[in-house]
Amino acid sequence: MPLSSKHLLGLETTPKEDIKLILDTATTFKEVLERPIKRVPTLQGKTVVNLFYENSTRTRISFELAEKRLSADGVNFSVSTSSVSKGETFKDTIKNIEAMKIDMVVVRHSAAGTPLYLTQLCDAHIINAGDGIHEHPTQALLDMYSIREKLGKLEGVKVCIVGDVGHSRVALSNIFGLKTIGAEVSVCGPATMIPRNIQDLGVKVYYNIDEAIQDNDVLNVLRIQLERKARGNFPSLREYHRFYGITNERLEKNGKDILILHPGPINRGVELASEVADGSKQIILQQVTNGVAVRMAVLYLLGTQN
Amino acid sequence: MKIALKNCQLVHPLQKINKKSNLLLVDGVISKVGNLSAEDLKNAEVFDLKENIVVPGFFDMHVHLREPGREDEETVITGCDAAAVGGFTGIACMPNTEPAIDSAEVISLIKGKAKNHLVEVFPVGAATMERKGEVLSPMAELYDAGAVAFSDDGVAIKTARILKTALEYSLMFNTPIIEHCEDESLAGGSMNEGITSTFLGLPPIPSVAEDLIVMRDILMAEYTGGKVHIAHMSTKKSAQMVREAKAKGLNVTCEVSPHHFTLNEEAVKGYNTNTKMNPPLRTQEDVEAMLEGLKDGTIDCIASDHAPHSLEEKEMEFELAPNGIVGLETQIGLALTELFHKKVLTLEQLIEKFAINPRKILHLPICKFEAGETANLTILDLNEIWSVNTAQFKSKSKNSPFNKRLLKGKAIGVVNKRKMFFQGKNLEL
> Which residue spans of chain B are classified as CATH 3.20.20.140?
57-361
Decide if A16-135+289-303 and A137-287 have a common fold. yes
From residue A80, give the alpha-carbon distance in Å to each of A86, A108, B74, B175, B398: 11, 11, 31, 47, 29
Examine the pLDDT at A86 and tell me if it is beyond 70.
no
Torsion angle, alpha carbons of B65, B71, B76, B79, to 10:
-60
Smallest CA-to-CA distance from B386 within B339, B329, B333, B327 is with B333
Mean pLDDT confidence for A51-60: 90
Chain B residues close to A135, C-beta within 8 Å: 201
Strand partners, B29: B26, B374
| CATH 2.30.40.10 correct for B2-54+369-428 | yes
The sign of the torsion formed by the CA atoms of A104, A108, A112, A117 equals negative
Residue B194: per-residue pLDDT: 94
Domain residue ranges of chain A, discontinuous segments joined by +: 16-135+289-303, 137-287
Percent of chain B beyond pLDDT 70?
100
Cα-to-chain-centroid distance, residue A77: 20
Clarify whether B183 is annotated catalytic: no
Crossing angle of helices A90-99/A114-121, nearest 10°?
50
Mutual orientation of helices A58-69 and A284-303 as an angle, nearest 10°?
50
Report, as an integer, the average pLDDT of B399-424: 97
Do residue A113 and residue B316 have CB atoms under 8 angstroms apart?
no
Average model confidence (pLDDT) across chain B: 97
- Per CATH, the number for A137-287 is 3.40.50.1370
Q: Tell me if chain A has a CB within 8 Å of the CB of B311.
A: no
Q: At what angle do helices B76-86 and B104-114 cross, to 10 degrees?
A: 50
Residues 6 or more apart in contact with residue B426 via CB below 8 angstroms: B118, B419, B420
Min distance B185 CA to chain A CA atoms (Å)? 11
- Cross-chain CB nearest to A84 (options B190, B201, B320): B320
> How many DSSP H helices and E strands does chain B contain?
14, 19
Residue A82 has pLDDT above 50, yes or no: no
- Digit-coded pLDDT (tens) for A12-33: 999 999 999 999 999 999 999 9
Mean pLDDT throughout B310-323?
A: 93
Closest residue of chain B to A116, computed from CA coordinates: B270
- A84: chain B residues, CB-CB within 8 Å: 316-317, 320
Q: Between B198, B201, B317, which is nearest A117 by CB?
A: B317
- Which H or E element spans position B101? none
- A91 inside 8 A of chain B by CB: yes
Q: What is the DSSP string of B126-195?
A: ESBGGG-SSSB--HHHHHHHT--EEE-TTS--S-HHHHHHHHHHHTTTTPEEEE----GGG---SEESSH
**Higher-scoring residue by pLDDT: A54, B46:** B46
Distance CA A289, CA A264 (A): 13
CA distance A64 to A42: 15
- For B69, phi then psi, to 5°, come to 125, -55
Q: To which H or E segment does residue B426 belong? A: strand B425-428
Helices (H) and strands (E) in chain A, counts: 13, 9
List pLDDT tens digits, range A93-146: 899 899 999 999 999 999 999 999 999 999 999 999 999 999 999 999 999 999
Contact B198 A135 (CB under 8 A): no
Nearest to A221 by CA among A202, A246, A184, A240: A246
Residue B51: name the closest of B3, B5, B102, B108 by CA: B5
Q: Which value does ipTM take for this structure?
A: 0.90
What span, in angstroms and rounded, lies between the C-alpha atoms of B166 and B221? 11
* Residues of chain B neighbouring A133 (CB-CB closer than 8 A): 201-203
Backbone φ and ψ of A209, nearest 5° = -70, -30
pLDDT class of B41 with cuts at 50, 70, 90: very high
Task: Domain A16-135+289-303: give its CATH superfamily.
Answer: Aspartate/ornithine carbamoyltransferase (3.40.50.1370)
Would you call B317 an interface residue with chain A, using a CB distance cutoff of 8 Å? yes
Give A-chain residues touching B194 at CB under 8 angstroms.
196-197
Chain A residues with CB under 8 Å of B270 CB are 116
A75 Cβ under 8 Å from any chain B Cβ: no
CATH topology (fold) of B57-361? TIM Barrel (3.20.20)
Identify the CA nearest to B234 among candidates B270, B210, B215, B253: B210
Residue A110: list chain B partners with CB under 8 A: 319
**Contact map slice: A 165-224 vs B, CB within 8 A:** 166, 169, 172, 195-198, 200-201
State yes or no: pLDDT of B181 exceeds 90.
yes
pLDDT at residue A57 tops 90: no
What is the average pLDDT across A154-169?
A: 96
B31 conformational bin, left if phi > 0, alpha if psi -120 to 50, beta if neither:
alpha
Instruction: Look at B316 and A12 and tell me if their CB atoms are within 8 Å.
Output: no
Specify the amino acid at residue B222.
E
Strand-pair category, B301-302 with B252-256: parallel
Letter for the amino acid at A236? S
Helical (H) or strand (E) element with A262: none
Query: Percentage of chain B surpassing pLDDT 90?
Result: 99
Facing residue for B201 by CB, picked from A91, A112, A198 = A112
- Looking at per-residue pLDDT, the higher value among A1 and A149 belongs to A149
Residue A81 in this model has a pLDDT that exceeds 60: no
Q: State the pLDDT at residue A138.
A: 98
Residues of chain B with CATH 2.30.40.10: 2-54+369-428
Nearest CA in chain B to A200: B195
pLDDT tens for each residue of A189-248: 999 999 988 998 899 999 999 999 999 999 999 999 876 655 678 888 899 999 999 999
Chain B within 8 Å of A120 (Cβ-Cβ)? no
